[in-house]
């Protein structure tokens, strides 16, 4: 009988693409690897290898439902993981896939980061009206972003910028350029790459202007402490030099 692991994830298009990335990474370790061809959607089941399957469990978090609270007030908390953590500790799922930078500063007791992937495209990306680069934006340009890090560094680069707090998934943030009358937004380039929206990038901002979060572009897999069989499977795709389990 095939073993089926239940993968917990947020339900945004980006979160599902991140799960697809993990499934592909797991399947590459087997000689009979072939790409995932059917869509990764909540409720869907996918082969990892002979005798091992994965079922996708979509979970809406407070961070998905609350689109008013500024991200700057929730950085370092479990704003985007709380409900998934509860499902994991309650045995409703077997492991969870997260953007590594969305994890809280301290995981709940009983949980562990089993694997972390290498970052892809760690730059912050500017998406602007009329394809203007950061240095070309008009005086007192309105720029939408979310994190304190980006707000601080953008204001340091040009004090005339008006920084506007924005929330929502990637597609919703892109729409805010028009709906909120913004001159530009700044979001993670890796998110646009994963969603096939790389052509929307006006400019990848140099690190000397915007230094990214150290985990930007990396994915993290969280599981329960002590599940050694599952840990052995997931450790095959871990990119860290040393893992304490």
All structural domains of the chain with their residue ranges: 3-118+218-237, 124-204
Residues with a catalytic annotation lie at 102
The superfamily in CATH containing domain 3-118+218-237 is Periplasmic binding protein-like II (3.40.190.10)
Enter the tokens of residue 151.
Answer: 């707000």
Give yes or no for residue 50 having a pLDDT over 80. no
Alpha carbon dihedral 22, 53, 237, 196, in 10-degree steps, equals -20
Name the pLDDT band for 36 (thresholds 50, 70, 90).
Answer: low
Q: Which fold has domain 124-204?
A: D-Maltodextrin-Binding Protein; domain 2 (3.40.190)
Residues near 182 by beta carbon (within 8 Å), at least 6 away in sequence: 129, 142, 143, 144, 164, 166, 176
Report the 3 state secondary structure along 203-215.
Answer: EECCCCCCCCCCC
Q: Which residue has the tokens 């005339």?
A: 160
Tens digits of residue pLDDT in 163-214: 999 988 999 999 999 999 999 999 999 999 999 999 999 999 999 999 999 9
Q: Residue 41: is its pLDDT beyond 50?
A: yes
pTM of the model: 0.91
Same fold, 3-118+218-237 and 124-204: yes
Strand partners, 9: 58
Indicate if the pLDDT at residue 245 is higher than 50: no
Residue 228 has pLDDT above 60, yes or no: yes
- Residue 237 carries which DSSP code? G
For residue 12, the SS3 value is coil
Residue with more model confidence, 147 or 38: 147
Name beta bridge partners: 162. 142
Residue 67: pLDDT band by 50, 70, 90 thresholds?
confident
């Amino acid at each position: 009988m095939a073993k089926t692991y239940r993968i917990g994830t947020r339900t945004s298009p980006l979160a599902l693409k991140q799960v697809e990335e993990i499934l592909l990474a797991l399947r590459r370790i087997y000689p009979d690897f072939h790409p995932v061809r059917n869509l990764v959607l909540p409720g869907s089941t996918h082969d990892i290898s002979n005798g091992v399957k994965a079922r996708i469990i979509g979970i809406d978090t407070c961070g998905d439902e609350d689109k008013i609270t500024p991200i700057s007030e929730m950085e370092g908390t479990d704003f985007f993981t709380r409900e998934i953590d509860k499902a994991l500790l309650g045995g409703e799922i077997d492991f969870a896939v997260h953007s590594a930078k969305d994890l809280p500063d301290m995981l709940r007791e009983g949980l562990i980061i089993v694997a972390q992937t290498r970052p892809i495209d760690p730059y912050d990306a500017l998406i602007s009206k009329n394809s203007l680069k950061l240095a070309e934006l008009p005086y007192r340009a309105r720029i939408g972003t979310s994190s304190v890090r980006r707000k601080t560094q953008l204001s340091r680069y040009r004090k005339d910028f008006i920084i506007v707090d924005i929330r929502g998934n990637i597609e919703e943030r892109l729409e805010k350029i028009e709906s909120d009358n913004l001159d530009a937004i700044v979001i993670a380039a890796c998110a646009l790459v994963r969603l096939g929206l790389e052509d929307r990038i006006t400019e990848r901002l140099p690190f000397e202007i915007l230094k990214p979060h150290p985990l930007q572009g990396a994915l993290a897999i969280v599981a329960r402490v002590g599940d050694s069989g599952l840990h052995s499977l997931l450790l095959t795709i871990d990119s860290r030099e040393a893992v304490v389990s």
